[in-house]
Structure 1
Amino acid sequence: MGNKKIQMSRMWKYFTEATVEIIEEEGIDQVTIRKVADRAGYNSATIYNYFKEVSHLIFFASMKLLKEYTEEVSVYMNKGQTPLEKYILSWECFCKHSFKQPAIFHAIFIMDLGDHPETLIERYYEMYPSDLINIPDELKPILFERNVTKRGKSLLQQAAKEGQINEQLVDSLNEMTILLWQGMLTNILNNRMDYTLEEAEQKTMKYILQIIENAA
């Protein structure tokens, strides 16, 4: 790695980790370019040499805070014997962590980041390769996929090939589960429902299981 790239990586990490600290101490909605710059010890203009907009800073910081989920999802999925079981278990893990950290998961999987969000994920793991340690190779493509719809579809297609679900229902089942999760998470964040986070998690999984049962 050349000196210029090393310097860019170092600065990138300074700003990302400063953003993580603000999120942990004040909340994700309190992140501003000026606050990040002040905490990192630089001026606001310097940040724009490395990040196009504040949403990218929030995204990268949120990825740092996603580590607990990425480490646990493989443990969950390894309990499954069939593609459908793995699909259900992956949703259980996803719901558990997303409703525990709704703002973080919204920033990664729902928030508008502009063009090519997958490129941002690749950049993140380039800067933090240690976050991929102990993650099975079969899960790495999932972690590089921000599009939630694509993340779950491959398991459903495998389940259809094994006759666990109707092949013609793969797309609709996948879309319904995604929309269900997105709707619940968005409503919780916008205070449109008076569920606790635990109730939201339980209800989402209950409805996902009902959708899957109807497709079997």
Structure 2
Amino acid sequence: MKKKEIQLSRMWKYFVDATAEIIEEEGLENVTIRKVADKAGYNSATIYNYFSEISHLIFFASMKFLKSYTDEVAVYIEKGKDPIEKYLLAWECFCIHSFKQPQIFNAVFIMDLGDQPEKLLEEYYKIYPADLINIPEELKIILFERNVSKRGRSFLENALREGYIKEENVDAINELTILIWQGMFTNILNNRKSYEFQEAVKITMNYITEIVHNANLFSFKKYDHTNQQ
């Protein structure tokens, strides 16, 4: 690593770590550029030499809180005997952690980050490669994908290749699963329901499991967006 890159990485970490401390102490909603600058020991203008907007800084700091999820999802998936079980277990792990930390998961997977958010993921793991230790290679490909739909489809494509689901049902299963998760996640994020996270996980996984296990009994008609006025 060149001297300039080392310096860049060091400064980058100062600001990300300072943001993570504020999230831990005051909550994500209380992060401001000024607070980050004060905690890191620099002025606010310096931050913009490394981050184009505060949402990127919050994203990188939130990624540090995802380590427990990325470590655990590999363990969950390993329990699955076939692609369908692995898909359901991956979703169960995602539900558990996203419902426990809705603000963090919103910052990482939902919040508008501008163009090419996947590049932010690559940048994060370049600076924090230790976060990928003990992560299986096939799972790393999915972890580098921020889009929840694409992450889910990766598991379903394995199930399709092994004949567990029909090709015409892949997109429908994926979309319905995400819609169910999003509905519960939005309720929790916006405090619309007073579920304990364990109850929220149970309800969500019951619906997702029913859809996946009964998918081949139905013929889903794909919605054609191009025909809508």
Q: Same fold (TM over 0.5)?
A: yes
User: SS at 1:135's partner residue?
Assistant: coil
Q: Alignment length, in residue pairs?
A: 216
1:161 and 1:167 in contact (8 A); partners too: no
Q: Which amino acid aligns with 1:99?
A: F
d(CA) in 1 for partners of 2:5, 2:12: 10
Q: Any conservation in 2 of the 1:83–1:155 contact (CA below 8 Å)?
A: yes
Unaligned stretches of 5+ in structure 1? none
CA distance in 2, matches of 1:108, 1:22: 17
Task: Give the CA deviation at 1:26.
Answer: 0.7
Q: Does 1:85 align with 2:95?
A: no
Q: Whole-Å Cα distance in 2 between the matches of residues 6 and 178 of structure 1?
A: 40
Residue 43 of structure 1 corresponds to which residue in structure 2? 43
Does the 8 A contact of 2:96 with 2:197 survive in 1? no
Runs of 4+ in 1 over 6 A off after TM superposition: none
Contact 1:62 1:107 survives alignment (8 Å): yes
Larger deviation, residues 175-184 vs 157-166: 157-166
1:69-148 residue pairs with structure 2 within 5 A? 69-148=69-148
Equivalent position of 2:16 in the other structure: 16
Q: CA RMSD of the aligned region, Å?
A: 1.0
How far the C-alpha of 1:185 sits from its partner, in A, is 0.9
Q: CA deviation at 1:203?
A: 1.1
Structure 2 residue 223 is matched with structure 1 residue 193:
no
- TM-score after normalising by structure 2: 0.92
Equivalent residue, structure 1, for 2:62? 62
Name the structure 2 match of 1:162. 162
- In the TM superposition, residue 162 of structure 1 has moved relative to its aligned partner by 2.0
Which consecutive unaligned segments of at least 5 residues does structure 2 have?
Answer: 217-229
Q: Give CA-to-partner distance per residue, 1:174-204, whole Å, 9 cap, x none.
A: 0111121122111211122232222222111
Equivalent-residue separation in structure 1 for 2:188 and 2:32 (angstroms): 23
Q: Identity of aligned pairs, percent?
A: 69
Residue type of the alignment partner of 1:120: L
Shift of 1:71: 0.5
TM-score (normalizing by structure 1): 0.97
